[in-house]
């Protein structure tokens, strides 16, 4: 599969060439490399850029690879010398997101290396990966020996010099097919907000199916009152004119059915309320204030 490497650059040019060498050694078909960097007057950054440009243009193993240098810029076009402000950070996030976005639009497998540059740029890279990656894409980090780092050599001589490690990413694409709509936007912040709305709609729909199709009418009645008002078993029993033991039995049954339907290892009373609150509010015609807390839900 045709692939690309997207790498963040700091003061060490060898990070980019080393991870590229690791990928090529693993038989990855890298067609182009996009290097994300700041435009600082810092001599170390300038030296890294100059060294990398020279190496990528003359190294025999890179003849079939296109290298792109992408400076981080503000919307005004002003280049950024450091990610030390909110505006600069957002510009870095937007650039990383856009570069990955374009690669995915071109059906490329993406390798994203976040070993170089500022730590906040690495965090933005992880977020962009979570938003846009598919199963075949890889977020990677580079581990290099002190000897190799100090040598400033651009290419590792053996596995002791450097190793590439894959970083696990919980992909939004694996959570829901709604991620496809994210590809309509090149703005990561707008994409995140869009996903939140989509995810809420999915929670409403799955909760509605559970309430109306899985629970018995009696269980549904008890659960809707529980979720809607957070009442005690005694208060629910008084409203429905049934015994507390019956209320307790219905809630226990609903919890067991929820564990099976939602594929949860366990769920307590509070977790059941959090899980079904969007659907109950929707069914009752209420309004949403904020997403319920789902910290009491344990996934299998």
CATH number of the domain that 225 lies in? 1.10.10.10
pLDDT at 287: 44
Q: CA dist 124 to 95, 118, 130, 184, Å?
A: 10, 10, 10, 20
* Residues 146, 150, 153, 158, Cα dihedral to 10°: -20
C-alpha span between 262 and 268 (Å, rounded):
13
DSSP per-residue codes, 75-97 = TTSPBPS---SHHHHHHHHHHHH
User: Looking at the structure, do residues 108 and 253 belong to the same domain, yes or no?
Assistant: no
**Residue 180 belongs to a domain:** no
**Residue 203 belongs to a domain:** yes
**Residue 181 belongs to a domain:** no
pLDDT at 294: 38
| Domain C-terminal end among 151, 175, 199 | 175
pLDDT at 119: 84
User: Looking at the structure, do residues 98 and 232 belong to the same domain, yes or no?
Assistant: no
Report the first-to-last Cα separation within the chain, whole angstroms: 33
pLDDT at 186: 60
Q: Whose CA is closest to 3, among 112, 166, 118? A: 112
pLDDT at 189: 64
Low-confidence ranges of the chain (pLDDT < 70): 172-199, 286-300
pLDDT at 223: 95
Domain count, the chain: 2
User: Looking at the structure, do residues 11 and 139 belong to the same domain, yes or no?
Assistant: yes
pLDDT digits 0-9 by tens, 223-237: 999 988 778 999 999
User: Looking at the structure, do residues 137 and 200 belong to the same domain, yes or no?
Assistant: no
Half-sphere exposure of 185 (CA within 13 A, CB side): 16
C-alpha span between 97 and 270 (Å, rounded):
37
**Residue 82 belongs to a domain:** yes
pLDDT at 281: 84
User: Looking at the structure, do residues 25 and 167 belong to the same domain, yes or no?
Assistant: yes
User: Looking at the structure, do residues 291 and 239 belong to the same domain, yes or no?
Assistant: yes
pLDDT at 188: 65
C-alpha span between 217 and 55 (Å, rounded):
71
User: Looking at the structure, do residues 26 and 153 belong to the same domain, yes or no?
Assistant: yes
**Residue 149 belongs to a domain:** yes
Range of the domain at 145: 2-175
């Amino acid at each position: 599969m045709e692939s690309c490497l997207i790498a963040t650059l700091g003061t060490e040019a060898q990070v980019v060439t080393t991870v590229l060498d690791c990928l090529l050694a693993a038989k990855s078909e890298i067609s182009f490399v996009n290097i994300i960097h700041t435009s600082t007057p810092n001599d170390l950054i300038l030296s890294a850029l100059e060294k990398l440009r020279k190496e990528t243009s003359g190294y025999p193993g890179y003849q079939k690879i296109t290298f792109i240098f992408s400076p981080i810029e503000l919307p005004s076009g002003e280049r950024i010398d450091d990610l030390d402000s909110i505006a600069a950070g957002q510009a870095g996030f937007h650039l990383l997101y856009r570069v990955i976005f374009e690669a995915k639009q071109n059906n490329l497998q993406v390798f994203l290396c976040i070993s170089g540059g500022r730590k906040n740029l690495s965090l933005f890279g992880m977020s962009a990966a979570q938003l846009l990656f598919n199963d075949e894409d890889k977020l990677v980090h580079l581990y290099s020996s002190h000897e190799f780092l100090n040598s400033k050599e651009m290419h590792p001589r053996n596995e002791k010099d450097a190793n590439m490690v894959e970083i696990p990413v919980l992909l939004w694409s694996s959570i829901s097919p709604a991620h496809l709509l994210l590809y309509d936007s090149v703005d990561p912040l707008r994409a995140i907000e869009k996903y939140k709305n989509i995810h809420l709609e999915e929670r409403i729909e799955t909760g509605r199916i559970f309430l109306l199709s899985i629970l018995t009418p009696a269980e549904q009645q008890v659960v809707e009152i529980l979720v809607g008002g957070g009442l005690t078993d005694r208060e629910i029993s008084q409203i429905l004119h049934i015994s507390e033991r019956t209320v307790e039995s219905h809630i226990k049954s609903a919890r067991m059915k929820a564990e099976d339907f939602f594929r949860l290892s366990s769920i307590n009373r509070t977790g059941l309320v959090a899980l079904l609150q969007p659907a109950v509010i929707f069914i009752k015609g209420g309004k949403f204030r904020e997403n319920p807390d789902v910290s009491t839900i344990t996934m299998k």
